[in-house]
Amino acid sequence: MLRDFYVDFHIHSCLSPCAEITMTPAVIGKRLQEIGIDWISITDHNSAGNVRTFSKVLKSLGIEVIPGIEVHTVEDVHILGFFESIEAAEAYSSWLYKFIPDVKVDPEKFGYQLYVNEDDEFTAMEEKWLGQPTSLKLNKAIDSILEFGGIYVYSHIERKMGIVYQLGFVPGAKNNSEIVEISQKNTFDKFNDLQHMSVIHSSDAHSPQELKKVMRLKAKRRNFSEFKECLLNQKRVELLWD
Amino acid sequence: MLLKELIDRCGFRIITASNLNEEIKDGYIGDLLSDVMGNAPADSIWLTVQSHVNILAVASITGIKAILLCNGLSYEEETIEKAKENDITLLETEKSSFHASLALFEAGLR
């Protein structure tokens, strides 16, 4: 039996330097409940450090979380990595940390990077700048996500830090297996190459007011295998635009 | 050479002018943030086609004083706001990075 779920698989928490510090579990959870979203992913820049907390808090509100991360490659391309378990996402995050140059930036100028606990309290601040490119090349980033048992999606391909914007094309997009995220209906209507790819749409929210219904999935239940199945089977995905 | 002299001689458009009396000693051309972070000299002008807000963090880290956006591109609002806060001058030009660097060279920057 397939059920309808409202989802958003690209949301930044207060750990992302460019996100508002109000992107905490309680605030996001409340907003998701208000608008009726029940399945999400937390995808911070170059870190899965807040995934565990969000998973616990949101689960208690009836919202399921796919553990995720948004990797910034050396080519200035963003890709989303999604993992089967919190442990896998955290293991990947620790591995990735070594590839983030040891560059610190002033949080007053470039945004705070905050770890949060289940009571919405900030527990620590990440010192390394998470908004910078890792030293991983795109191919290596993709391979590494796969090695940790994850799947990858090209973020907002038509915007800055998106693969088409940065490189002009999606490598390997003719083999039907690539999943891409589109930001705007406008681009979705115009993009000729999209017929070869699986397309998702996300909010890429950096503040609570940016959260909105972006997709409806038809799934048996909210787990990783159904998540993968839906992303690869466009018949089970309905993109929702403003 | 002072930044304001360079701008005068090259005719670049000023988008934010935070530090026009700073001395510019060098230049760098690059569109990969990681490359610029690793290689751009301090007190330089950076020629690029990147306009994302992250360029300001790169400029702050390396000590780049001014960013010149080439090819007739324009900055996002967010980038302009942050540049004012961070005392980094933002410039625009219709020229390509190559021709803009020639202009800087002819203006006396070596």
Under the banding of pLDDT at 50, 70 and 90, the label for residue A38 is very high
Under the banding of pLDDT at 50, 70 and 90, the label for residue A192 is confident
Are residues B34 and A74, on separate chains, in Cβ contact within 8 Å?
yes
Map out the domains of chain B as residue ranges: 3-107
Cross-sheet strand order for the sheet of A64-72? A198-201, A179-182, A151-154, A78-82, A64-72, A39-42, A3-11, A215-219, A237-239
DSSP state of B24: P
Are residues A110 and B50, on separate chains, in Cβ contact within 8 Å?
no
Give which of A16, A42, A60, A69 is closest to A211, Cα–Cα. A42
pLDDT tens profile A141-167 = 999 999 999 999 999 999 999 999 999
pLDDT number for residue A169: 86
CATH architecture of B3-107: 3-Layer(aba) Sandwich (3.40)
Query: 3-state DSSP call for residue A205?
Result: strand
Are residues B37 and A101, on separate chains, in Cβ contact within 8 Å?
yes
Q: Which residues of B touch A (CB under 8 A)?
A: 31-34, 37-38, 50-54, 56-58, 60-61, 82, 85-86
Residues, chain A, total? 242
Domains defined along chain A, listed by start: 3-239 (3.20.20.140)
Residues B72-95, buried b or exposed e (16+ Cβ, 10 A)? eeebeeebbebbeebebbbbbbeb
Summarize the confidence of residues B37-60 as an average pLDDT. 96
How far is residue A180's CA from residue A157's CA, in Å, rounded to a whole number?
A: 7
Structure tokens at A204: 């890429």
Given a contact cutoff of 8 angstroms between Cβ atoms, the answer to whether A188 and A199 are in contact is yes
Largest CA distance in chain B: 32
Partners of B89 in the β-ladder:
B66
Percent of chain A with pLDDT over 90: 88
Query: Does residue A172 surpass a pLDDT of 80?
Result: no
Under the banding of pLDDT at 50, 70 and 90, the label for residue B28 is very high
Are residues B82 and A109, on separate chains, in Cβ contact within 8 Å?
yes
A192 half-sphere exposure, CB direction, 13 A CA radius: 0
Task: Kindly report the average pLDDT of chain A as a whole number.
Answer: 95
| E strand residue ranges, chain A | 3-11, 39-42, 64-72, 78-82, 114-116, 122-125, 151-154, 179-182, 198-201, 215-219, 237-239
Would you put residue A149 in left (φ > 0), alpha (ψ -120 to 50) or beta? left
DSSP state of A22: T
Partners of A15 in the β-ladder:
none
Q: Which residue has the higher pLDDT, A195 or A127?
A: A127
Query: Does residue A181 surpass a pLDDT of 80?
Result: yes
By Cβ distance, the residue of B52, B58, B60 closest to A109 is B60
pLDDT number for residue A176: 53
pLDDT tens profile A53-68 = 999 999 999 999 999 9
How far is residue A82's CA from residue A69's CA, in Å, rounded to a whole number?
A: 7
Query: Does residue A88 surpass a pLDDT of 80?
Result: yes
Residues of A in contact with B60 (CB under 8 A): 105-106, 109-110
How far is residue A17's CA from residue A127's CA, in Å, rounded to a whole number?
A: 11
Query: What DSSP line would sit under B57-84, residue for residue?
Result: HHHHHHT--EEEE-TT----HHHHHHHH
Query: Does residue A175 surpass a pLDDT of 60?
Result: no
Residues of A in contact with B34 (CB under 8 A): 74, 76, 101, 132-133, 135
Under the banding of pLDDT at 50, 70 and 90, the label for residue A195 is confident
Under the banding of pLDDT at 50, 70 and 90, the label for residue A171 is confident
CA distance A5 to chain B (A): 34
Are residues A131 and B57, on separate chains, in Cβ contact within 8 Å?
yes
How far is residue B92's CA from residue B78's CA, in Å, rounded to a whole number?
A: 16
Largest CA distance in chain A: 51
